[in-house]
């Protein structure tokens, strides 16, 4: 369930007046820990009315390149804190994203872990608010360390300081997304949603979810693609670690 009616007016200038058959505010490419290349995205989006944001972990190269190529993409990034907590941060202007990255992300990257920096959540909340930014908490009821409701004692305090909760993540189960919607409603926040794609099949699966009846067969395929993504993620992180040692 995509809570499109709970999107903030922050995104209005990007939505324009055309109907968007593909809205995805959470995508990863091969610039960080995904294996999705920009040429695939360009080919996929060329004939598809869209609004997307490439939110690579602590990286902005793909977002900037797609933006400069004229695609309807929101300047964005997924910032990882030193303890594993993450924020999706969106900007109105590409220049603000670049400035935020240069000043607040690039100098503090964790050399051993793609998804983390050496700064905590209070630092990034403060830094992001220097700009006209919009902050969302992704996969708040995710798996393992990404289940912030269970393993981050400060989560309820943080929910008072952000703008939105990601209430649909295509890699998660219906139950976990329902928990996220419940938290959003209780905290009276806006919603964001996305594929959280790391492989190409997750992009097409999320497109099908938005534009056709999501049958049991498609749901089973989604779960299979998510498993493939986990395997690909493990390989990418292992390769990154071995390159440094």
Residues 58, 105 contacting (CB under 8 angstroms): yes
**Mean pLDDT for the stretch of residues 144-170:** 94
Q: Is the model's pLDDT at 242 over the cut of 50?
A: no
Radius of gyration of the chain (CA): 17
Among candidate residues 145, 5, 168, the one with its CA nearest the CA of residue 80: 145
58 has which bridge partners?
none
Q: What SS3 state is found at 109?
A: strand
d(CA 164, CA 136): 4
pLDDT in tens, 20-47: 789 999 999 999 989 999 999 999 999 8
Residues 116, 86 contacting (CB under 8 angstroms): no
Helix (H) or strand (E) holding 191: strand 190-194
Above pLDDT 70, what percent of the chain? Answer: 85
Among candidate residues 187, 188, 89, the one with its CA nearest the CA of residue 137: 89
Q: Report the pLDDT value the prediction gives residue 240, as an integer from 0 to 100.
A: 44
Using 50, 70 and 90 to split pLDDT, how confident is the model at 238? Answer: very low
Q: Report the pLDDT value the prediction gives residue 55, as an integer from 0 to 100.
A: 98
Q: Report the pLDDT value the prediction gives residue 213, as an integer from 0 to 100.
A: 67
Q: Is the model's pLDDT at 245 over the cut of 50?
A: no
Pick from 124-133, 153-162, 224-233: least confident: 224-233
- Quote the pTM value: 0.90
For residue 115, give every residue at least 6 positions away whose Cβ sits within 8 Å of its Cβ, in sequence order, or none. 32, 33, 57, 58, 80, 84, 86
Q: Report the pLDDT value the prediction gives residue 207, as an integer from 0 to 100.
A: 93
pLDDT in tens, 83-136: 999 999 999 999 999 999 999 999 999 988 888 999 999 999 999 999 999 999
Q: Tell me the average pLDDT of the chain.
A: 89
Burial 154-190 (b: 16+ CB within 10 A, else e): ebeebbeebbbbbbbbbbbeeebbebbbebbeeeebb
Count of structural domains, the chain: 1
Q: Report the pLDDT value the prediction gives residue 222, as an integer from 0 to 100.
A: 64
Structural domain boundaries, residue 160: 4-243
Residue 220 to residues 26, 27, 173, 196, 201, Cα–Cα distance (Å) = 21, 21, 11, 17, 13
CATH number for the domain that contains residue 158 = 3.20.20.140
Residues 68, 89 contacting (CB under 8 angstroms): no
**82 phi/psi in degrees, rounded to 5:** -65, -25
Residues 51, 15 contacting (CB under 8 angstroms): yes
* 164: Cα within 13 Å, side-chain hemisphere: 27
Q: Report the pLDDT value the prediction gives residue 212, as an integer from 0 to 100.
A: 78
Pick from 7-16, 57-66, 90-99: least confident: 7-16
Helix (H) or strand (E) holding 136: strand 133-137
d(CA 169, CA 182): 14
Q: Is the model's pLDDT at 144 over the cut of 90?
A: no
pLDDT in tens, 167-200: 999 999 999 999 999 999 999 999 999 999 999 9
Q: Is the model's pLDDT at 241 over the cut of 90?
A: no
């Amino acid at each position: 369930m995509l809570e499109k009616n709970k999107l903030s007016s922050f995104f209005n200038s990007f939505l324009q007046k055309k109907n968007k058959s593909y809205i995805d505010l959470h995508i990863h490419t091969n610039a960080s820990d995904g294996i999705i290349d920009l040429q695939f995205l360009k080919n996929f989006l060329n004939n598809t009315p869209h609004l997307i944001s490439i939110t690579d972990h602590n990286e902005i190269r793909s977002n900037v390149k797609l933006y400069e190529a004229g695609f309807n993409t929101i300047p964005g990034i997924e910032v990882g804190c030193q303890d594993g907590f993450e924020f999706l941060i969106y900007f109105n202007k590409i220049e603000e994203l670049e400035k935020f990255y240069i000043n607040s992300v690039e100098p503090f990257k964790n050399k051993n872990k793609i998804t983390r920096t050496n700064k905590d959540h209070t630092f990034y909340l403060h830094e992001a608010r220097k700009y006209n930014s919009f902050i969302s908490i992704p996969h708040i009821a995710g798996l393992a360390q990404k289940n912030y409701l269970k393993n981050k004692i400060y989560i309820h305090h943080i929910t008072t300081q952000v703008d939105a909760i990601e209430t649909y993540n295509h890699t998660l189960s219906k139950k976990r997304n329902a928990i996220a919607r419940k938290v959003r409603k209780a905290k009276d926040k806006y919603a964001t949603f996305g594929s959280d794609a790391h492989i190409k099949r997750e992009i097409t699966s999320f497109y099908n979810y938005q534009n056709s009846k999501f049958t049991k067969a498609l749901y089973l395929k989604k779960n299979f693609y998510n498993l493939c993504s986990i395997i690909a993620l493990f390989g990418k992180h292992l390769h990154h670690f071995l390159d440094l040692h």
